[in-house]
Amino acid sequence: MNWDSLDAWWWPFLFIVVAGWIATDMWRWLGVLVGNRLRDDSALLIWVRSVATALVAAVIAKLIIYPNGTLADFPLWLRVGSAVIGFGVFLAAGSRRPWTGILTAIVLVVVGRLLTAG
């Protein structure tokens, strides 16, 4: 099975959500198991958290600005705008739950693509 195996319009979105979840949560759980003996304010944990945040931000920026596959057909303004609005919703929610911003950005990208596809 490869990226082009399924012809459904929703396949790339499902792939991105599932692959992103597995790739990040696996390391989070490993970090919980290994890092529970470190103090929250230790220099090593602060450095690890900073590097992890920078890596995630870089991957997200690369996916938004230089996408592959179907996402490359989406206008740049739609990809960037959805990410910015999703981040704004995340900050405005104040709940520190990333799903608020992620779901907002996904919905905006899908709706925007449906409205601009013609």
In the chain, count H helices and then E strands.
4, 0
Q: What confidence tens digit (pLDDT) does each residue in 96-118 have?
A: 788 999 999 999 999 999 998 76
Q: Is-contact 83 56, C-beta < 8 A?
A: no
Q: Predicted confidence band at 29 (pLDDT cuts at 50, 70, 90)?
A: confident
Neighbour count for residue 80 (Cβ, 10 Å): 13
Name the residue among 50, 112, 66 with its Cα closest to residue 86: 112
Whether the pLDDT of residue 70 is over 90: the answer is no
Q: Predicted confidence band at 3 (pLDDT cuts at 50, 70, 90)?
A: low
Q: Predicted confidence band at 55 (pLDDT cuts at 50, 70, 90)?
A: very high
